């Protein structure tokens, strides 16, 4: 990560003193209130090394070591129960780090070969867990998407295919642990999820319109509902960003693979920002439409079968922006 990105994350975690030293940054340890004697860090003792992809952190007082996401995870473990940070803030930080690390790796031409998923991760495909049923994913859907469960990390696994749909290039793992602050992990860690759209490998010769959501579960569930009317609408396919903000590569893939992009990102601040980025990024290159949520619904999974009516009643981006400016919702 770049120094400016590192400092932005650290500031959100409570860092306030920064000293640059070559490729490293020295700052007050953000874990100090819980891990340092007296709850303070006056040295400062947390060092973070700027480097391509994952940046390494080490506190010389409490001994914490690891990447930036590991630091956020450790911070959240202490701060969430005390209300110092929210789950939404943690999600924003993790998404920001993933994107920042991925973009750095994408821009290094010599790093063409990325690590492949390990055998243990590949063996998770086909391993069933009752959590799938809890989330409305039946066995036939489970088999169709080649989902799985990785017991070592207690995560359900979503394989991501290359943009030709032939080879698994990585996995996104969703925790089943209720209090785990980091919902999603990449496998392998440096898997560039921002270079792919989850579910694009399901595209057929009939696909014309891409519905874009945030998470893999949302994509699986929306496609499940679409299949019920697939004889009438074979040209819809739902894909996931695996985050809340579309990358430049992902937006290129949308334009290349559809004549309309239907934005159905979450109904929260992160989703609204991603929606704005999407409109600005491809609004002049293809048709972009927006799905409006009912007041009591925050994401596609929560909407259930209502997503079909929401998609049917979508607004083209220009109309949506005019309605938003005038404070008008839906067809009112």
Q: Which pLDDT belongs to residue 201?
A: 94
Q: Which pLDDT belongs to residue 259?
A: 93
Q: Are residues 73 and 33 in the same domain?
A: yes
Assigned domain for 57 exists: yes
Q: Are residues 180 and 159 in the same domain?
A: yes
CATH number assigned to the domain comprising residue 275 = 3.40.1360.10
Among 106, 138, 163, the domain boundary falls at 106
Assigned domain for 178 exists: yes
Q: Which pLDDT belongs to residue 38?
A: 86
Q: Are residues 161 and 215 in the same domain?
A: no
- Owning domain of residue 226: 200-326
Q: Are residues 127 and 71 in the same domain?
A: no
Q: Name the percent of the chain lying above pLDDT 70.
A: 90
Q: Are residues 259 and 280 in the same domain?
A: yes
Q: Are residues 236 and 280 in the same domain?
A: yes
Assigned domain for 93 exists: yes
Q: Which pLDDT belongs to residue 287?
A: 93
Assigned domain for 257 exists: yes
Among 191, 214, 240, the domain boundary falls at 191
Q: Which pLDDT belongs to residue 298?
A: 92
Assigned domain for 59 exists: yes
Instruction: Look over the chain and give the mean of its residue pLDDT values, rounded to a whole number.
Output: 87
Q: Are residues 209 and 181 in the same domain?
A: no
Assigned domain for 111 exists: no
| Listed range (26-35, 123-132, 178-187, 243-252) with the worst mean pLDDT | 178-187
Q: Which of 92, 10, 12, 106 is nearest to 52 (CA)?
A: 106
Q: Are residues 68 and 135 in the same domain?
A: no
Q: Are residues 259 and 206 in the same domain?
A: yes
Assigned domain for 112 exists: no
Assigned domain for 331 exists: no
Q: Is the pLDDT of residue 325 over 70?
A: no
Bigger pLDDT: 196 vs 21? 196
Q: Which pLDDT belongs to residue 106?
A: 47
Among 149, 172, 191, the domain boundary falls at 191
Q: 86-142 pLDDT, tens per residue?
A: 988 888 888 788 777 665 444 444 334 557 889 999 999 999 999 999 999 999 999
Say how many domains are in the chain: 3
Q: 213-272 pLDDT, tens per residue?
A: 999 999 999 999 998 775 555 789 999 999 999 999 999 999 999 999 999 999 999 999
Q: Is the pLDDT of residue 332 over 80?
A: no
Q: Are residues 7 and 69 in the same domain?
A: yes
Q: Are residues 228 and 285 in the same domain?
A: yes
SS (H, E, C) the chain: CCHHHHHHHHHHCCCCCEEEECCEEEECCCCHHHHCHHHCCCCCCEEEECCCCCCEEEECCCCCEEEHHHHHHHHHHHHHHHCCCCHHHHHHHHHHHHHHHHHHHHCCCCCCCCCCCCHHHHCCECCCCHHHHHCCCCHHHHHHCCCEEECCCCEEEEEEECCCCCCEEEEEEEECCCCCCCCEEEECCCCCHHHCCECHHHCCCCCCEEEEECCHHHHHHHHHHHHCCCCCCCCEEEEECCCCCCCHHHHHHHHHHCCEEEECCCCCHHHHHHHHHHHHHHCCCCEEEECCCCCCCCCHHHHCCHHHHHHHCCEEHHHHHHHHHHCCCCCC
Q: Are residues 181 and 262 in the same domain?
A: no
């Amino acid at each position: 990560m770049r120094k400016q990105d590192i400092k932005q994350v650290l500031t959100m975690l409570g860092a306030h003193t920064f000293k640059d030293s070559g490729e490293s940054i020295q700052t007050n340890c953000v874990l100090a209130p819980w891990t340092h004697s007296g709850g303070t860090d006056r040295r400062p003792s947390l060092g973070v090394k700027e480097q391509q992809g994952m940046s390494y952190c080490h506190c010389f007082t409490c001994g914490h070591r690891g990447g930036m996401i590991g630091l956020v995870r450790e911070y959240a473990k202490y701060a969430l129960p005390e209300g110092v940070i929210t789950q939404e803030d943690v999600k924003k930080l993790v998404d920001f780090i993933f994107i920042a690390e991925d973009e750095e790796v994408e821009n290094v031409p010599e790093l063409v070969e990325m690590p492949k998923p390990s055998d243990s991760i590949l063996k998770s495909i086909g391993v069933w867990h009752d959590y799938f049923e809890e989330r409305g994913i039946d066995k036939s859907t489970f088999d169709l998407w080649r989902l799985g469960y990785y017991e070592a990390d207690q995560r359900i696994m979503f394989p991501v295919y290359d943009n030709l749909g032939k080879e698994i290039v990585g996995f996104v793992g969703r925790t089943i642990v209720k209090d785990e602050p980091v919902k999603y992990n990449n496998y392998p860690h440096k898997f560039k999820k921002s270079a792919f759209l989850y579910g694009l490998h399901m595209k057929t010769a009939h696909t014309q319109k891409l519905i874009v959501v945030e998470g893999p579960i949302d994509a699986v569930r929306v496609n499940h509902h679409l299949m019920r009317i697939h004889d009438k609408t074979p040209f819809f396919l739902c894909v996931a960003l695996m985050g809340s903000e579309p990358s430049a590569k992902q937006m290129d893939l949308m334009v290349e693979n559809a004549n309309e992009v239907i934005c159905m990102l979450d109904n929260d601040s992160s989703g609204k920002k991603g929606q704005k980025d999407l409109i600005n990024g491809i609004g002049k290159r293809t048709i972009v439409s927006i799905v409006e949520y009912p007041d009591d619904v925050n994401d596609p999974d929560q909407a259930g079968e209502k997503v079909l009516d929401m998609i049917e009643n979508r607004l083209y981006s220009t109309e949506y922006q005019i309605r938003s400016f005038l404070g008008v919702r839906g067809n009112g």
